[in-house]
Structure 1
Amino acid sequence: MNENAIARNASGTSGHFARPRRLAMFLHSPLIRNGYALIASAGLTSVLGLLYWILAARLYSPEQVGVAAALISTMMTLGNIAQLNLENVLNRFLPVAGKGARKVVLLAYFGAATASFCLSLVTVYSVGWFIDEASFLRAEPLAAGAFVLASVAWTLFALQDSVLAGLRQSTFVPIENTIFAVSKLVLLIIFSGSSVLGSGIYAAWVLPLPFLLAFANWFIFRRFLPRHTLVSRPDAELDRKTIAAYFGWDYIGTMASMTAIGVAPLLVFHVSGSAALARYYLAWQIAYSLYLIGRSMGVSLLTEVGFEQHKIRSLMAEALIYTMVPLASAVILLVAGAPYLMQLFGDSYGHDATLLLQIGALACLPWGWVTLSLAVARAQGRTILVAVAELITCAIVLGGGSILLKRYGVVGMSVAWLIAHSTVAIGIIAYVIMQRGVGILFEAALHVGSALAQVKDGFDAAIRPNPKGNLPAELLSLIEKAGGCDLTTWCIVAEPRRESDIRTIFLAESGASSPAAAAPALVVKVAKSTEAKEGLKHYVDQVKRLSCDKRLSEVGFELPSLLAVDFSSSESISVERVLPATDGRAALALTPSANVGLANAMDAIAQVHRFTAASTVLDQRWLDRWIEHPAAIIRKTAGVTLLEGQRKAAIDALIREQTHFWQGRKLSVGLGHGDYCPANILFGPAVDVSAVIDWEAANYEMPPGIDAMHLLMTQRAMRANEELGHVVRELLSKPALQNYEVAALGEIERQCVTAYGSLKEPAIIQALCGFAWLQHVAANLRKSRRFRTGRLWLAVNVEHVLRTYLQRANPEASSV
């Protein structure tokens, strides 16, 4: 075939060439982008805050620092209480508020401002009864009025960060907080040694707040809210009862947390005096910056679950990795560097402050885990667990802290924090085990392992050399030999990461466009190893067989079209045209038209089966081909998490279940795709199926419903961003289809009813799911050594599923 012929056959725009990487760089994930934006904000604020308190300690006496710390701590505590838990409500419900988002924000601001005003008034007239050093607030009207207004401003300033997070605009938070921190430093120097508003340190802290409120909320109401309204789901409705129930328990938990944080320094102040409070407060401020790592990612996690509830497990795993790795690193550095860091504050902050900081840093490790766990509990609406955890923390900190403070001095309060967070972390783990069994720890480890693998894939993809550019001479020679054509004007535009031993390359004519802008028109597959050659030859044979099957001319969508093939060299090669369409992963994601696309995909594969169906009885030959042989391939793989005896028992149980279901059935078998997943389905502008690609696993003896089940499983895995093994295990354990899945089945449901019964029946779902999974993993193990030696892939996608069959065959077996 000459070059012009290839160009004519390759005309059209790309559909399936642009297969996205398994994981884009982490900044492309809203969870990580917004979480790290909040962490960056906390980091910048903490560094500049550290400088603030270093300067304060140098410019002011320890007594002045202590008084300022008491004022700021009281104001922040009031602000946290006055937020009425609205920060968590905004993070949870603002993502789904739709057109009501502006009203939600305004109501939150009004409620928080009103509560702050009332609480600060009460505080002004009562705090002097408990703390003599703060009695000037009641005696000086100007200081009292400033304190009330500052408390209201601080409340709104803190709450607007939750508004930004709920709108997925957390990248704005570091900007406003950096401006705030720099402004405080400038004013601190200007007010050096003064007692403006009762304390120059306090005045420098609060005076920038009104200006920053105006700055941030101009962006919120003029830019971010209108944009959020456009992208929100139009059918999103806020359930007032749900919000009220969420608000109640979570508010109790938040109140307990804020009480512990706010009252602890006041206890130190009362028992040990202002100088001791200065040491505690400075050490606390530094350690608290580490806590904000977990808190920031928890806020982002809660927001993202609001947008994508179906991804809660993968989001939790990602959040855990991206929280605990930097948190553990920071804790190690802080514990090691605490003696040197505290020297920056001067001679008055010696051994006690260093030990306070080291213990406080260690407490942040269990605190980070607790924060993420409570974010998940909030996302699932289990706010009573949040309340219990926070109440226990408060009781241990204030109760135990009071005892330890009197016995061991100011260090005792830091020890109380470490005990409280460790106790709650252990309690959460114990509670989860009681609810879900000890096997949940193993499952969680697999989720984290999968997330770590995705992180590695993302970085590998980022550092992999860019394949775009002119064709290498050796590749050009292979293509010319296969097709007898001249492609010297063509270039490489993409080379996806390989999951098999076959190299796939997309080409386009350079023309006047740059290689990066050129539309791909040809896909070239190159095989070098023996297994890869056999796989490519099998693929080519399948494509040729499909092209000769006249019955498929009526299916209404395109099939792969080979342009050139050569198996005579050391490297085998095939060339086919890129089919013009939209990648099925984009069409079947969570979009308004996704359900229509799913129904069209089901109808397309139902047509294939209908046009090629032939009645047969499933005899032993068929069972050997579809059950015994794939199971034998799995037997040959090395064990990872199961003992050899367990693997054998699980595979035997799988064979028994499948044989019992299929043996002797008389039904219509037909052509099945074998890997009918979103990546292999291409859609047109009207979300109709325009092409189906990659028919390597196709077979003419496929029972009805198998391709449909494979599509449902892979779509669930894609939407949840999980490995297929997690989805299969859940479907085997809880065999039920979702309403939108049942609605999309159409003719597939009728074919299954005729063959063996409705796909609403749990036993049928389990049988088809197990059958589709068995074919999938066996095909992967056959085609590439990457799968046979990939311990994590085997643990998640093979043995995690086998464990289900083992437990069903032997309920006495350990759930681990």
Structure 2
Amino acid sequence: MAVALPKNFSEVRQHLQQPLIRNSFFIMASSFVAAGFGFFFWMIAARFYSQADVGIATALMSSMGLLILISRLGLDQSVIRFFPTRDKNRVLGTAVLVPTAVALGAGLFFIATVDVLAPELAIVRSIAPLYLVILGSYSVTWVFEGAFNALRKSEHYFALNLLYGTRILFLVPLVFLGAVGIFGAFGLSFILGLVLALILLARCSVRPTPCVDRVFLREAWQFSAGAYVAGILMSAPNMLIPIMVLNVLGAESTANYYITYAIVSILFMIPYAFTTSLFVEGSHGGEMKRSVLRTLASMFALLIPAIIGLSLFGEQILNLIGKDYVEGMALLRVLAASALFVSVCQTFISVAKVRNDIRSLVVLSGFISVALLGLGYTLMNRFGLIGMGYAWLATYVAGTLLVGLILKKKGWL
């Protein structure tokens, strides 16, 4: 089915007002704002903090992201899937209360066993209260962000990301704390974001009820369980890789990887924005085939010039952050090339969620997770940091081929 291109201004305006495109725009704008603030955050951190401090701080952030991921139980995805049909206040209250309790429990376990799980992060024991407060705030705001997208109010998600930029303001005053200063600046923005999110939800007539809605949990569990497993499989490598790099190559290489990945993640934000909006529209009953074609066309139209531009000017961007980070240029180019294949895999994942095809969702997610971590560890030991880039590209090329095989088997091609 061909997608008709708009031919005049009125058609362009009408095209942009479609929920799929409008929400994709705000999600993408949010991602770009986050990336822009992130760039300046790390540029300032690199100027005022040592490379070792940056490496430790990024590993702390990754450990927290991993705990959040484990604690989701798929309920953040169920908010999007079930918001159109159920009591929003009870759904949101349940999706906040249950995962946040799990996250805090997991945080306590991590702190108690850090000497075994991640000895390089033993500093977390001395900042346990701060770590848990930030962990709780991060957990709640994560769910609220999904709620704004589910409400088709992605402009509020955009406002939250603007507020998160305040973390830059805390960097210099906290420099005397070293790695903890970077981590604290990161966390304070989520505490502020939690306050703003509650205000914006109230304006949408949504006030999370602090409860455990057992009926919702039962109805959502079949979907949530599959989405939970797939979410962990897809996202865990992003959280584990910085810790793996820290243990294999050291703090300086971890800083190089994290900074380089943070820059390239601008590209990954494009498929994230469009495929999240695709999932929302599919959950509201939108026509999927036309939406998928429109999503792919829009993503590639933005990704191709962005990849070329980043490959040409990436060295200057890295140099702005610090001369020590320019050696990540080769890694940057390889990661950037993988973005096209990431977009295909992410599109399929959204389609599988809408169709409730959990088996295919888990198969693809499991393959990507195992391949990325396994290849990453192997190639990093052989080639150094660039080996992680080779692993990214090879994994997502293979993932795209697997998507083709699944589509052919199901007769969707």
* TM-score, normalised relative to structure 1: 0.47
Matched, 1:174 2:158: yes
Partner AA of 2:346 in structure 1: T
Matched with 1:313 is: 289
State how far apart, in whole Å, the 1-side matches of 2:243 and 2:339 are.
21
Matched with 1:551 is: none
In proportion to residue count, which structure has more helix?
Answer: 2
| Runs of 4+ that moved beyond 3 A | 21-24, 238-242
> Which aligned pairs between 1:794-805 and structure 2 lie closer than 5 A?
none
The alpha carbon displacement at 1:24 in A equals 4.9
> Which aligned pairs between 1:455-604 and structure 2 lie closer than 5 A?
none
Is the CA contact 1:81–1:258 (under 8 Å) kept in the aligned structure 2? Answer: no
Partner AA of 1:28 in structure 2: Q
State how far apart, in whole Å, the 2-side matches of 1:324 and 1:291 are.
12
Count, aligned residues: 397
Q: 1:73 aligns with which of 56, 62, 69?
A: 62
The alpha carbon displacement at 1:385 in A equals 1.2
Matched, 1:362 2:343: no
Partner AA of 1:102 in structure 2: N
Is the CA contact 1:59–1:193 (under 8 Å) kept in the aligned structure 2? Answer: no
Q: 1:52 to 1:400 in 2, by over 3 A?
A: same
* CA deviation vs aligned residue, 1:707-750 (integer Å, no higher than 9, x gap): xxxxxxxxxxxxxxxxxxxxxxxxxxxxxxxxxxxxxxxxxxxx
Partner AA of 2:308 in structure 1: I
State how far apart, in whole Å, the 1-side matches of 2:400 and 2:185 are.
37
Matched with 2:304 is: 328
State how far apart, in whole Å, the 1-side matches of 2:176 and 2:334 are.
32
The alpha carbon displacement at 1:124 in A equals 1.0
Is the CA contact 2:275–2:347 (under 8 Å) kept in the aligned structure 1? Answer: yes
Matched with 1:56 is: 45
> Which aligned pairs between 1:682-721 and structure 2 lie closer than 5 A?
none
Matched, 1:89 2:60: no
Matched with 1:110 is: 97
Q: 1:224 to 1:317 in 2, by over 3 A?
A: farther
Partner AA of 1:132 in structure 2: P
The alpha carbon displacement at 1:95 in A equals 2.3
Q: 1:281 aligns with which of 236, 254, 258?
A: 258
Q: 1:27 aligns with which of 9, 12, 16?
A: 16
Question: Equivalent residue of 2:324, what SS?
Answer: coil
* CA deviation vs aligned residue, 1:663-722 (integer Å, no higher than 9, x gap): xxxxxxxxxxxxxxxxxxxxxxxxxxxxxxxxxxxxxxxxxxxxxxxxxxxxxxxxxxxx
> Which aligned pairs between 1:130-169 and structure 2 lie closer than 5 A?
130-138=117-125, 140=126, 143-169=127-153
* CA deviation vs aligned residue, 1:127-150 (integer Å, no higher than 9, x gap): 232433311222x2xx11111121
> Which aligned pairs between 1:419-458 and structure 2 lie closer than 5 A?
419-436=394-411, 440=413
Q: 2:31 aligns with which of 42, 65, 73?
A: 42
* CA deviation vs aligned residue, 1:286-328 (integer Å, no higher than 9, x gap): 112211211121111111111124x111111222222221122
> Which aligned pairs between 1:197-346 and structure 2 lie closer than 5 A?
199-225=180-206, 243-309=220-286, 311-346=287-322
Matched with 1:473 is: none
* CA deviation vs aligned residue, 1:558-608 (integer Å, no higher than 9, x gap): xxxxxxxxxxxxxxxxxxxxxxxxxxxxxxxxxxxxxxxxxxxxxxxxxxx
Matched with 2:392 is: 417
Is the CA contact 1:60–1:193 (under 8 Å) kept in the aligned structure 2? Answer: no
Partner AA of 1:221 in structure 2: A
The alpha carbon displacement at 1:261 in A equals 1.1
The alpha carbon displacement at 1:253 in A equals 0.8
Is the CA contact 1:256–1:391 (under 8 Å) kept in the aligned structure 2? Answer: yes
Matched with 2:211 is: none
> Which aligned pairs between 1:777-788 and structure 2 lie closer than 5 A?
none
State how far apart, in whole Å, the 2-side matches of 1:306 and 1:379 are.
6
Identity %, equivalent residues: 22
Q: 2:175 aligns with which of 189, 192, 209?
A: 192
Matched, 1:400 2:375: yes
Matched, 1:127 2:114: yes
The alpha carbon displacement at 1:394 in A equals 0.8
Higher relative contact order (CA 8 A, sep 6+): 2
State how far apart, in whole Å, the 2-side matches of 1:431 and 1:385 are.
7
Q: Which runs of 5+ in 2 are unaligned?
A: 1-9, 208-214
* CA deviation vs aligned residue, 1:620-669 (integer Å, no higher than 9, x gap): xxxxxxxxxxxxxxxxxxxxxxxxxxxxxxxxxxxxxxxxxxxxxxxxxx
Question: Equivalent residue of 1:349, what SS?
Answer: helix
Query: Aligned-pair RMSD on alpha carbons?
Result: 1.8
The alpha carbon displacement at 1:241 in A equals 5.8
Is the CA contact 2:67–2:106 (under 8 Å) kept in the aligned structure 1? Answer: yes
In proportion to residue count, which structure has more strand?
Answer: 1
Matched with 2:362 is: 387
State how far apart, in whole Å, the 1-side matches of 2:257 and 2:107 are.
24
State how far apart, in whole Å, the 2-side matches of 1:291 and 1:114 are.
30
Partner AA of 1:367 in structure 2: V
* TM-score, normalised relative to structure 2: 0.92
* CA deviation vs aligned residue, 1:30-72 (integer Å, no higher than 9, x gap): 1111111000000011011011101111111100000111111
Q: Which runs of 5+ in 1 are unaligned?
A: 1-20, 227-237, 441-816
Partner AA of 1:95 in structure 2: P
Partner AA of 2:257 in structure 1: Y
Partner AA of 2:143 in structure 1: L
Is the CA contact 1:252–1:387 (under 8 Å) kept in the aligned structure 2? Answer: yes
State how far apart, in whole Å, the 1-side matches of 2:315 and 2:191 are.
37
Is the CA contact 1:96–1:307 (under 8 Å) kept in the aligned structure 2? Answer: no
Matched, 1:378 2:353: yes
State how far apart, in whole Å, the 1-side matches of 2:217 and 2:11 are.
39
Is the CA contact 2:72–2:228 (under 8 Å) kept in the aligned structure 1? Answer: no
State how far apart, in whole Å, the 1-side matches of 2:411 and 2:204 are.
44
* CA deviation vs aligned residue, 1:11-30 (integer Å, no higher than 9, x gap): xxxxxxxxxx7775322101
State how far apart, in whole Å, the 1-side matches of 2:95 and 2:227 are.
16
Question: Equivalent residue of 1:190, what SS?
Answer: coil
Is the CA contact 1:397–1:417 (under 8 Å) kept in the aligned structure 2? Answer: yes
Is the CA contact 2:58–2:258 (under 8 Å) kept in the aligned structure 1? Answer: yes
State how far apart, in whole Å, the 2-side matches of 1:326 and 1:61 are.
35
State how far apart, in whole Å, the 2-side matches of 1:71 and 1:22 are.
48
The alpha carbon displacement at 1:350 in A equals 2.6
* CA deviation vs aligned residue, 1:538-562 (integer Å, no higher than 9, x gap): xxxxxxxxxxxxxxxxxxxxxxxxx
* CA deviation vs aligned residue, 1:75-130 (integer Å, no higher than 9, x gap): 12211222222222112221232xx1111000000012111101111111222324
Is the CA contact 1:184–1:208 (under 8 Å) kept in the aligned structure 2? Answer: yes
Is the CA contact 1:70–1:265 (under 8 Å) kept in the aligned structure 2? Answer: yes
Question: Equivalent residue of 1:95, what SS?
Answer: coil
Is the CA contact 1:41–1:174 (under 8 Å) kept in the aligned structure 2? Answer: yes
Q: 1:262 to 1:148 in 2, by over 3 A?
A: same
